[in-house]
Structure 1
Amino acid sequence: MEQAFHWFCRKCGFTEDFGRSYYWKCPKCGSPLVISTGRRYEVSKGRGLARYKSVLPVTPLKYMGEGETPLVKVSEEGVEVWFKLEYLNPSGSFKDRGTSLSLSYARKLGYTTVVDDSSGNTAISISLYSRALGLKPALFIPRTAPEGKKRILRFLGAELHESESRGAASVDVVEYSRSHPEAYYVAHTWSYFYVIGAATIAFEVFEEAGVPDYVIAPVGSGGLLLGLAHGFKTLLEQGLTTKMPRIIGVQGYSVQPVNVALKGVETPGEESWLADGIMVPNPPRLAEIVDAIRESQGDVHLVGNTEVREAWLKLVDQGFLVEPTSAAAYAALERLKTRLQGKSVLVPLTGSGLKIIPLM
């Protein structure tokens, strides 16, 4: 019987049947991997991500409420805005979609410990899902991470390893995973599970409303943008729709690798630390992000703290209690409204504002 899913490296051509082993990067050349399939998109009975099991390499072992988030349509100055309320996922962010897939695979392969480097949404997501699935999470975080976040992670059962900086944490976790082969390295910035998880957002939007004219999404490691692109492209290639949305990636002036890769120059502007969730200087899938934007005839836009804060408050005024990183995408929309008259625009609201009460 032919294997339905495969590990595949687009750079060196490495391929292996999916389901027997786990790789967080290509074992031959060290590039990011994808999980490929020739299966057709179909909607099944069930709840959450399991409804799209025909194109998922693994289905969640335990449904906790991830997915099926509300889609709220609002008409703003001639633009039809589709807000996807991803901050209503169990741990408060869209990351739960990828985490549910990744940790379910870890359990199926027999791992009992998972490890990653994060102190934000992904860390909370991994800690919560680990607890629910009977896994032990070990997280590498910068020593400067807010004490409030550390308390949340400890409460959820995470074993914390404090590194000197965010960059040091990403190095330390790799060393740990090498010396602890029994631990499953989630590697969320590399992991294709998070791309596939985000693709289910596109599937849900398509089912409820069709395909938007534009997608505006914040870009850190790029899993959200790539997932949305992959989801809508799957629908297009299988003849289920005739259009592909133009994809607008949003980054801050302080950290703008996608903008530099796309345009060849760094654009000066106001600091953007308020949207800390997208401050990823070296996303492993940078080339894929740039390709996805170009293929959709999209673009990248930069925002600063002033725009982010104004957009954040406007979202709260509308009843959306989100984090500033979510507001980065809305800030870009505010700037583009005159160019988007009569268009439908999908804006995923990625994370809950309840996690950042000290900033308020």
Structure 2
Amino acid sequence: MLREQNICQKCGSLRIGNSLRCSSCNNLISVTPIHGPSKSDITLTSMWSLRDFLPDYTNPVSLHEGNTPILKVKNLNNLLGLGLKLEFRNPTGSFRDRASSLIISDAVKKKSSQVIGASTGSFSISLSAYAAKAGIKSLNVIPQNLELSKIEQMKVYGSKVIELSDSVEESIAEAQRLSNEANTYLATPENNILAIEGQKTLGLEIALQKEFFDALIIPRGSGSLIYSIYRGLEDALASGWIEELPRIYAISLEKTKSAYMAESLEIEQPFLLEEVRETIKFSKGKEIEIDAQQMIEEALNLSKREGLFIEPASASVLAAADELVKEEEINPEHSVAILSGSGFNALNIYATHLRDKRKVVWGLSESSTTKFEILNLISEGKSTYGISIWESLGRAKSKQSIYQHLNELQKKGLIVLSEKDTKIKAFKVTKKGFETIEKMRNLIDFL
């Protein structure tokens, strides 16, 4: 079990609490693999069925997370037999519920009245839900360009939300500052070893559920999921559940103009990048980059063929598995792909992609709705110039009509030319424009 105090294996400094890295040398704190009970002694009903591998909490805060199924692909001919670990079946739709259950249990044990977190969405949604279950307050610091559907979910669970940064790295730094200032529990997974220990149960579950596997295909993101699963597999190996560690394939986002459509993979500085690279090298796997547009196509195909609705970032593993099968590098029957998040966390992205199914707000002309969508794209920094906006809107309108809308928005004082980029005619939203967006969102909420 995880101890409250541990010694850094690199410099020998004493670690106190839940720090993920040593305060003296910044070395990643790791827990020695745990020799637990035999597989036959485990009856898996939730993550907490694996409490022999977890810190001891008498009354854990749980929404029955974990014990997600592994389904075999039946209708995708190129991937027949591939195991799909359905992590989006967790209570709030992602693997992050495993981390939140452990972190909030710890916060309750320490009698914390509030937790502060930061993420690209899924963890903050999860943290908000588990804090609500425990009866404590939550505050989440998030990037300004986050999907509106994710932000609203946090608020539904009663969380206070602060949007004040351009990247998740800035959000994490601000959460750290606020936590230090108010002496409040910092729940951000990048700073808390309990996130790794909770999420490692995913690896343990795979070892219980799958008789034999020699390859895992995992979205990379910050690196937290990959490192966590590997930690669980180390415990499984030490407990005699598996004979050897599988190859790890880390799937990351290709840097293209459509990258914003896979927010949970769009991280400039993955905080466990070096550890993930070492894991990949040690396991004889590799990292594969996938374009966000391809992820969306794979996600939609999975919905239509297998009845599973996942977010674009999750579908990265399907595109990668397809490549690996074609290269004869993996056998689908002996491989498991992690579907990490629900498609309900990316409804706006799918709505934009499926332009023939677009929603027009009652009482507004289609032209007004298009202007509102253009304002949103510019305000979120996802598309700031004509061609980019045209592509983001699915190329359903003519380029000329897009430029006409931009001219009209400019005349109304809702957007102005950006001074940051002189090479292209880029726009930014004015104060009046942001006020208009807020009023429109309130109108949509009312309707």
Q: Tell me the C-alpha RMSD between the 2 structures.
A: 2.4
Question: Aligned runs of 1:11-50 on 2, under 5 Å?
Answer: 11-16=10-15, 21-36=17-32, 38-42=34-38, 43-44=41-42, 47-50=45-48
5+ residue gaps, structure 2: 351-447
* 57-66 vs 273-282, greater mean Cα deviation: 57-66
- The corresponding residue for 1:309 is 296
Contact 1:144 1:165 in 2 (8 A): yes
The range that moved more, 41-50 or 105-114, is 41-50
- Aligned residue in 2 for 1:233: 234
1:73-127 superposed Cα distances (whole Å, 9 cap, x missing partner) = 1254375311011101011101000110111111111211100112410010000
Q: Confirm or deny that 1:95 pairs with 2:83.
A: no
**CA shift at 1:3, angstroms?**
8.6
TM-score by length of 1: 0.86
Shift of 1:344: 1.4
How high is the sequence identity, in percent, across the aligned residues?
24
**Which residues of structure 1 form unaligned runs of 5+?**
255-268
The alpha-carbon distance between structure 1 residues 27 and 78, as it changes in their structure 2 partners (threshold 3 A), is closer
Tell me how far 1:206 sits from its aligned partner. Answer: 1.9
Q: 1:222, CA displacement in angstroms?
A: 1.3
User: Is contact 2:222-2:271 (8 Å) kept?
Assistant: yes
TM-score with structure 2 length normalisation? 0.71
Query: Offset at 1:141?
Result: 1.4
Aligned match for 1:351, one of 332, 341, 344: 341
Question: Whose RCO is larger (CA < 8 A, sep 6+)?
Answer: 1
Contact 2:264 2:313 in 1 (8 A): yes
Secondary structure (helix, strand or coil) at the match of 2:101 reads helix
Greater radius of gyration (CA): 2
Q: CA deviation at 1:343?
A: 4.7
Query: 1:298 — aligned with what?
Result: 285
Aligned AA for 1:215?
L
Give me the whole-angstrom Cα distance separating, in 2, the residues matched to 1:150 and 1:332.
29
On the 8 A contact 1:253/1:271 being kept in 2, the answer is: no
In terms of fraction of residues, the more helix-rich structure is 2
**Structure 2 counterpart of 1:248, which letter?**
Y
2:272 maps to what in 1?
Answer: 285
Note the C-alpha offset of 1:53: 1.2
- What is residue 162 of structure 1 aligned with on the other side? 163
Aligned 8 A contact 1:236 1:242 in 2: yes
Structure 1 residue 38 displacement after superposition: 4.7
- Matched to 2:190, the amino acid is T
Say whether residues 1:275 and 2:275 are aligned partners. Answer: no
Amino acid aligned to 1:179: E
CA 1:306–1:342 in 2, change beyond 3 Å: closer, same or farther?
closer
Shift of 1:4: 6.0
CA shift for structure 1 position 41: 4.4
Bigger fraction of residues in strand: 1
Aligned ranges 1:174-189 → 2 under 5 Å: 174-181=176-183, 183-189=184-190
Contact 2:149–2:347 (CA<8 Å) still a contact in 1?
no
- What SS does structure 2 have at the residue aligned with 1:141? strand
Whole-angstrom distance in 2 between the partners of 1:73 and 1:57? 33
